[in-house]
Structure 1
Amino acid sequence: MADKKTDETLDEKIEEISIEGLAEDAEEFIGDPLAEDDELETIRAERDEFRDRFMRALADAENSRKRSERDRREAEQYGGSKLSRDILPVYDNLKRALDAATAEQREQAAALIEGVELTLRELLNVFSKHGITLVQPAVGEKFDPQIHQAMFEAPVPNTVAGDIIQVMTEGFLLHDRLLRPAQVGVSSTPAG
């Protein structure tokens, strides 16, 4: 009986050792599940951070592409604005020369006047070709501060305050931008 009891105790001990050994082996093989969860969360956080950085870099690259495309278009359209402004006095002088010619002078120097008119017309064609348009206000039109520059104000009978009463120089637009405002005189409220 003592043998039987010893065998049972021995069997229990072997089973106990086997179960503890298996648990230790399994833990060693599988690892700590809590540590794995932490490592997995760390990897997910890194992944999310890299995805966020990638998306930001992608958005920055797209914004840079759009900005450079816009800058290129603007340079193409408005790059010649300085040269255009420098040529405007040529137009003004040709126009003044034609306006200053009297009927008698036009008769005597018809070929010269025709040459100046042709030169002025060609200059306007070149302007048009490059997107430069003439702003020609007329006496009686309303003053528009977006395209006109008031050089003086004077009370003129039979006018309304804000009416153009004189045009000194014409203005110019380069595509949709003002290159030079038209210089005008504007009526103030007439003295009553």
Structure 2
Amino acid sequence: MAQSKEDPFLDDVEQAEEEEQAAMTEEDAPESVEDQIESLRAERDAFQDKFMRALADAENARKRAQRERTEAENYGGSKLARDVLPVYDNLKRAVETVTDEQRKEAAALIEGVELTMRELVNVFSKHGIQVIDPQVGDKFDPKQHEAMFEAPVPGTKVGEIIQVSAQGFMLYDRILRPAQVGVSSFTG
């Protein structure tokens, strides 16, 4: 059943719409549009803020991953390096204890030990390991040295290295093993 144009219900709806439009003044219409624009701007700003925060979080995660990857590359082998240091120490002791007579008798063997030690130092250098080689008379540095003992030695100053027991090692900017030293406690 089609409704005719003279349907009272449709006439009431149309009349209500006309009254509503007539009730709106020219000032009312822009306010509602301005309110809508302001609402959209606030929503846009909120989305932009969320986007910028997400972008910053992603950048921070990228930097953190890069830093962790670099640390893993540089310091991942530190346990192995620490375990190899006694090999270096033993080779160094072996070379240092050889007398001139022993050097003449077993020249090839001693030369082989020295070559092995040099190659080990080259491998250390290739992987960022540097020797900390304090000398007697140097100032004690607790960041690089470990005091094994203190002794009052005349002619020295307090905190001066008086003996080097073992060299230390750094892996890039981190201590693998501090140099083991004796320190003067002489105050005279």
* 1:55 counterpart = 2:48: no
Separation (CA, whole Å) in 2 of partners of 1:106 and 1:73: 45
Separation in 2, partners of 1:39, 1:95: 82
Report Cα offsets for 1:4-32 as digits up to 9, x if no partner: xxxxxxxxxxxxxxxxx97644557x9x5
Pick aligned residue for 2:40 from 39, 43, 47:
43
SS of alignment partner, residue 84 of structure 1 = helix
- Residues in 1 aligned to 2:97 and 2:42: alpha-carbon distance in whole angstroms: 81
Question: For residue 80 of structure 2, what is the aligned residue in structure 1?
Answer: 83
State percent identity of aligned pairs: 66
Q: 2:182 aligns with which of 182, 185, 189?
A: 185
Structure 2 residue aligned with 1:18: none
Q: Give the aligned residue type for 2:92.
A: K
User: What TM-score do the two structures reach when normalised by structure 2?
Assistant: 0.81
Unaligned runs of 5+ in 2: 1-16
Q: Which residue of 2 aligns with 1:144?
A: 141
| Separation (CA, whole Å) in 2 of partners of 1:139 and 1:73 | 36
What are the residue-to-residue correspondences of 1:28-177 with 2, within 5 Å? Answer: 33=29, 34-177=31-174
User: Which blocks of at least 5 consecutive residues in structure 1 are unaligned?
Assistant: 1-20
Post-superposition offset of 1:185 = 0.3
How far apart are 1:103 and its partner, in Å? 2.8
> TM-score, structure 1 length as denominator?
0.79
Displacement of 1:102: 2.7
- How big is the alpha-carbon RMSD for the aligned residues of Structure 1 and Structure 2? 2.4
Q: Could you tell me how far 1:101 is from its partner in structure 2?
A: 2.4
- Shift in Å at residue 36 of structure 1? 4.1
Bigger Cα Rg: 1
